[in-house]
Amino acid sequence: MAESRLRTLAEVLEVVRPAFTRPTFERFVALMRGWLLTQQAGAVTSALLGAGLAGRAHHAAFHRLFAEAAWDVDEVGTELLKWIVRTCATRRSLQLAIDDTVVRKKGPMVFGLGTYLDPVRSSRRVRNFVFGHLWVVLVAIVEVPFSKRRWAVPIFFRLYRQERDCTRTNDPYAKRTSLARELIDLAARVAPELTMHVSADAAYCCETVLRGLPKNVVVYGTLRDNAVLTAAPIARRGCTGRPRVRGERMPTPAQLAADPSRWRSTRAALYGRTRALAFKQMDAQWYQGRGPELMRVVVVRLSAGKLKHRVYFCTDPTRTPADIVERYTARWQIEVCFRDLKQHLGFGASPAWSRRAVERVTPFAGFVYSIVVMWARLSLRRPERAPQIRRPWYRDKVGLSFADLLHIARTDLLDPAARTQLARNSPVSDRSRSFAAA
């Protein structure tokens, strides 16, 4: 079984091969293997130790993979997205999510450092700031056979830099929302025949992201309950002057929730459970963020917590309330992805300091995560045949976690016969085969 799984891994690696030259792909494969085997993911030298290449290949060649080699992060993400579209898209649509994450980092020579609010250590009363990098990440949300929940697969990355840092290096400044829109447009161009359903939290529900969206992109997000909403303008005949772009003022979401009209009910699959929802809806313009286009606004009544209701929207006014809420809540998988990336693959923990190395090594960790998840999706199609990992203290645990996938991958990569199989099924040079079988 290990040989079969590693044969599948070799096939998955071939997906991203067009983004590299042959020597660069050889080092990418070798470094990825070491990244998975090391217990201190994040450093190139640790990966070389994990792969058994220390002393057999000069470490500078692998540092150059990030600092100098000829490959582009967007091209790797594009190849991954094309493959995900071919294998995971359902009903000619694909679920995406966009968000950012902060990784702590210090050093006077490290490129792109800034001061950011740490959302994990902060609360409404206490705000903690950290030095580090802020990454804007676009992920695909895919179904997997080894888990009941859907998984986020990182595709595209952008390093956000604060305005003063860009001024210091004479680089153009781009807001986080501008970077997010850039990634959404890039994904839309890769698969123009698909409908891209993008979930975003409130920070990315703004004019920069929502206005002038590609025709194949639908965005799901949240609104403030005092948002100014208007109806579609009524066409006027026989009048001079510029036609109206906004209609009459409509109730705010808070006013709609307080209206004595009856709440409607539906059922939606949220966070692994089917729940009853009480909602009210209306189609309106949110001119400040979306412009003159109509969108569907859904107010959902909450039965627990301090908030009485939550406001969701969708840029496609034909979507049902249940679909809107379900697709928005799917974005939680990106938070799980960020946690696993940081805890298991050293996302953002590399000591790299030069510009090209910083902009590549963190996305590399994301690509390793994506390749492992997609490999597991193919090789563990029957969960009952997956290697059993006994954790008796988790009596109610169902499905596999990323830690389980990492354990399976490490076990397979350390198997001598399986390593030879991986090398034999890698259609690259003899040197790359020796790297894979190290």
- What are 378-425's pLDDT values in tens digits? 988 776 666 777 778 887 777 889 999 999 999 888 877 656 655 554
- What are 81-130's pLDDT values in tens digits? 999 999 998 889 999 999 999 999 999 899 999 999 998 888 888 999 99
Query: How far separated are the first and last CA of the chain, in Å rounded?
Result: 20
d(CA 438, CA 436): 6
Which residues on adjacent β-strands are paired with residue 427?
Answer: none
- DSSP labels for 228-250? --BPPPPP-SS--SPPPSS-SB-
Cβ-proximal residues to 166 (8 Å cutoff; 6+ apart), any chain: 172, 173
- Written as tens digits, the pLDDT of the chain (438 aa) is 677 888 889 899 999 999 999 999 999 999 999 999 998 888 888 998 888 888 888 889 899 999 999 999 999 999 999 999 999 988 899 999 999 999 999 998 999 999 999 988 888 889 999 999 999 999 999 999 999 899 999 999 999 999 999 999 999 999 999 999 999 999 999 999 999 999 999 999 999 999 999 999 999 999 999 999 999 998 777 777 788 889 999 999 999 999 988 999 999 999 888 999 999 999 999 999 999 999 999 999 998 888 899 999 999 999 999 999 999 999 999 999 999 999 999 998 899 999 999 999 999 999 999 999 999 999 887 766 667 777 788 877 778 899 999 999 998 888 776 566 555 544 444 444 444 455
The length of the chain is 438
Q: How far is CA 204 from the centre of its chain?
A: 14
Report the run of H or E that residue 26 belongs to, with start and end. helix 22-37
**Rg of the chain in Å (alpha carbons):** 24
Which amino acid appears at position 148 of this protein?
Answer: K
For residue 383, give the DSSP letter. Answer: G
Sign of the dihedral defined by the CA atoms of residues 2, 62, 83, 155, in that order: positive
How much is the mean pLDDT over the chain?
Answer: 90
d(CA 98, CA 187): 11
Q: What is the pTM of this model?
A: 0.92
Give ∠ CA 145-373-331 in degrees, rounded to 5.
Answer: 85
Copy the structure tokens of residue 398: 């169902």
- DSSP labels for 54-106? BTTB-HHHHHHHHHT-S--HHHHHHHHHHHHHHHH-BTTEEEEEEEEEEEE--
Contact 32, 76 (CB under 8 A): no
Contact 32, 426 (CB under 8 A): no
Phi, psi of 146 (to 5 degrees): -100, 5
